[in-house]
Amino acid sequence: MKEKAILAFSGGLDTSVVVKYLQEKHNMDVVTITVDVGQGDDYKKISAKAKKLGVKKHYNIDAKKEFVTDYIFPAIKANALYQKKYCLATALARPLIAQKVLQIAKKEKVTSLAHGCSGKGNDQVRFDLTMMAGSSLPIIAPIRDLNLDRATELKFAKKHGIKIDNVAKKFSIDQNLWGRAIEGGVLENPMNEPPDDAFIWVKTKNLPNKPIYLKIKFEKGIPVAIDGKSMNPIKLIEYINKKAGSAGVGIIDHIEDRVVGIKSREVYETPGAACLIEAHADLEKMVHTKHETKFKSMVDDEWSWLVYSGLWEDPLKKDLDKFIEQTQKPVSGIVKLRLFKGSLRVVGRESKNSLYSHKIATYGKGSNFDQKLAKGFVELWGMQSTEANKLHNKK
């Protein structure tokens, strides 16, 4: 009997090349699966493309809801920004896609798992490690194994009649509900400003002359309503992506350290993530003690790093999940954002669990904060520093 591989298939250049390669060089039957995480592709077209490539069976799986509730929401709770900038859109989707691949792999009784990742990126790490956490089947990664570059792939695609659209020729794009990553082409020179046509979610020209205000309501760390309107999780993220994008908010351009050691120039459009993480982090600061805030930011950083580097299934990541979940109990309230010509600012917040006390903080009359107590506190607080400075000054 012929060997059978399952491949996560996007319909793009890499995965199309991999289908042909598995069939021709490995003499395998190929089952493809496309997981909808909100990338907004034409799934009928992808399915037709897979069939045209001669796959045995193609699955299309709608995982949008799961993606939001089980991957994006935990990222919001963790204020997850890798290297303070990147909201992990691609990094969050990969373990979910890998899980779906494993489910179908079982059903189809395949003999190998395959993916279209290159050996230079982070996605290979995420796919490999999530797959290895749930299966011992061999993993085939032809782009990596053959050291293929884009030009060679394009040639191979042409030879096999695989059609590639124009955007894909200009940039390498990966997108889902949480963000859009744009790489390659002119962006590979870190000094080149991204051209306007790199962006489709965020407006870069003729921005509105009036600010947009958004009131985001959180319950236990999860966004549940905007401007008083409750929305289901998917709608909420789509809505905020649109709104913030229309105000020019959400472009990230930075130098990123990949897991494999490469420094890369990464450009993202992540309007919804920018707003939700900024708002969530602000609300946390109102309801957490300073000790919680300080410690949690270290946990958040570690969580982001683990997820970025493909360790979604690592026990430490799961332990941190529990800690983070526990911290979200008081994170309920409303945050007001002002979006204007590409800038994003929190301009108000309220919570029934607020630790902010006007009575204590006010510079006005009637505060119950006894300033006299502060004198002794400051002396004790700085005691060792003061002693040390005295000593150094003597020398």
| Nearest to 349, CA basis, from 273, 291, 287, 277 | 287
User: Binding residue for ligand ARG (CB under 6 A) from 29, 238, 266, 282?
Assistant: 266
Q: Helix (H, G, I), strand (E, B), or coil: what is residue 175?
A: strand
Q: Whose Cβ is closer to ligand ARG: residue 76's or residue 287's?
A: 76
Token pair recorded at residue 237: 């993220």
Q: The dihedral of CA 282, 283, 289, 294: what is its sign?
A: negative
To the query of whether residue 367 is one of the catalytic residues in this protein, the response is: no
Q: The dihedral of CA 170, 101, 94, 220: what is its sign?
A: positive
To the query of whether residue 145 is one of the catalytic residues in this protein, the response is: no
Q: Is 93 one of the binding residues for ligand ARG (CB under 6 A)?
A: no
Q: Whose Cβ is closer to ligand ARG: residue 128's or residue 183's?
A: 183
Beta carbon of residue 117, minimum distance to ligand ARG (angstroms, whole number): 8
CA distance 254 to 257: 10
Mark 181-200 with x for binding to ligand ARG (rule: CB under 6 A) and - for no binding: x-x-----------------
List phi, psi (to 5°) of 181.
Answer: -100, 135
Q: Whose Cβ is closer to ligand ARG: residue 231's or residue 259's?
A: 259
Beta carbon of residue 126, minimum distance to ligand ARG (angstroms, whole number): 8
List phi, psi (to 5°) of 39.
Answer: -75, -10
Q: Helix (H, G, I), strand (E, B), or coil: what is residue 209?
A: coil
Q: Whose Cβ is closer to ligand ARG: residue 16's or residue 351's?
A: 16
Set 16, 29, 118, 123: catalytic member: 123
Q: Is 172 one of the binding residues for ligand ARG (CB under 6 A)?
A: yes
Set 94, 126, 180, 349: catalytic member: 94
User: Binding residue for ligand ARG (CB under 6 A) from 36, 128, 153, 174?
Assistant: 174
To the query of whether residue 94 is one of the catalytic residues in this protein, the response is: yes
Q: Is 328 one of the binding residues for ligand ARG (CB under 6 A)?
A: no
Beta-carbon contacts of 230 under 8 Å, excluding residues fewer than 6 positions away, are 224
The DSSP code for 8 is: E
User: Binding residue for ligand ARG (CB under 6 A) from 79, 90, 328, 332?
Assistant: 90
Q: Is 124 one of the binding residues for ligand ARG (CB under 6 A)?
A: no
Q: Is 256 one of the binding residues for ligand ARG (CB under 6 A)?
A: yes
Beta-carbon contacts of 301 under 8 Å, excluding residues fewer than 6 positions away, are none
Q: Is 122 one of the binding residues for ligand ARG (CB under 6 A)?
A: yes
Which residue in this structure is represented by tokens 């570690």? 302
To the query of whether residue 172 is one of the catalytic residues in this protein, the response is: yes
Quick one: which H or E segment has residue 45?
helix 43-52
Beta carbon of residue 284, minimum distance to ligand ARG (angstroms, whole number): 24
Q: Is 10 one of the binding residues for ligand ARG (CB under 6 A)?
A: no
Set 118, 172, 332, 351: catalytic member: 172
Mark 343-382 with x for binding to ligand ARG (rule: CB under 6 A) and - for no binding: ----------------------------------------
The count of other CB atoms within 10 Å of the CB of residue 391 is 9
CA distance 227 to 394: 61
Beta-carbon contacts of 240 under 8 Å, excluding residues fewer than 6 positions away, are 214, 216, 223, 226, 271, 272, 275, 276
**Which of the residues are catalytic?**
14, 94, 123, 172
Chain contacts with ligand ARG (rule: CB under 6 A): 90-91, 122-123, 172, 174, 181, 183, 256, 266
